């Protein structure tokens, strides 16, 4: 053990378990939101298409595809990949957390608005990315040689 009981035995499983929960919740939510946007592109989940005025989209269909494939299926795939190939868990968490943050920033920019759900999912994306980074550093898989935190 390099980091002692606190870092290796307690924070290790907590980080891994929390990342699993985040992948599951974000994946299921994004998949459901993506399906809603693809099946009802003019009013998904009660969101009026008028919000897209001034954006490059006429309706929510294309954003729904991205939401479903990249954030929905991406997180659910990462969840299962993390069990099959634990070495990839940190990379997936870091990349998908960053993707969620970028998705929220672009969404706020295009809609010219910030809602409470934007703030919540921005924070979840940051948490997901930091958990992935923690796991990478802990497992010494970060792209450069470093000691565990």
> pLDDT at residue 146 above 80?
no
In a domain, 128, yes or no: yes
Alpha carbon distance 63, 31 (integer Å):
12
Predicted confidence at residue 1, as pLDDT, reads 45
Domain count, the chain: 1
32 within some domain: yes
| Structural domain contains residue 56 | yes
**Residues 76 and 27: beta-carbon distance below 8 Å:** yes
Q: Are 149 and 4 within 8 A, CB to CB?
A: no
Structure tokens at 65: 């595809």
Tell me whether residue 27 is in a domain: yes
Residue 63 has pLDDT above 80, yes or no: yes
**How is residue 147 written in tokens?**
């000691």
Which range of residues forms the domain containing residue 82? 4-138
**Rg for the chain (alpha carbons), in Å?**
17
Residue 133, domain member (yes or no): yes
Whether residue 148 is contained in a domain is answered as no
Establish if 36 belongs to a structural domain.
Answer: yes
Name which of 9-23, 25-39, 40-54, 98-112 the model is least confident about: 9-23
């Amino acid at each position: 053990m390099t980091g002692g009981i606190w870092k290796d035995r307690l924070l290790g499983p907590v980080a891994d378990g929390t990342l699993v929960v985040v992948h599951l919740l974000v994946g299921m939510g994004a998949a459901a939101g993506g399906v809603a946007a693809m099946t009802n592109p003019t009013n998904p989940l009660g969101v009026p298409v008028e919000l897209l005025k001034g954006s490059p989209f006429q309706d929510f269909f294309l954003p729904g595809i991205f939401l479903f494939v990249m954030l929905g299926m991406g997180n659910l795939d990462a969840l299962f990949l993390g069990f099959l190939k634990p070495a990839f868990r940190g990379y997936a968490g870091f990349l998908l957390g960053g993707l969620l943050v970028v998705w929220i920033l672009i969404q706020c920019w295009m809609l010219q608005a910030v809602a409470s759900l934007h703030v919540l999912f921005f924070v979840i994306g940051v948490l997901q990315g930091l958990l992935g980074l923690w796991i990478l550093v802990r497992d010494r898989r970060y792209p450069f040689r470093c000691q565990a935190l």
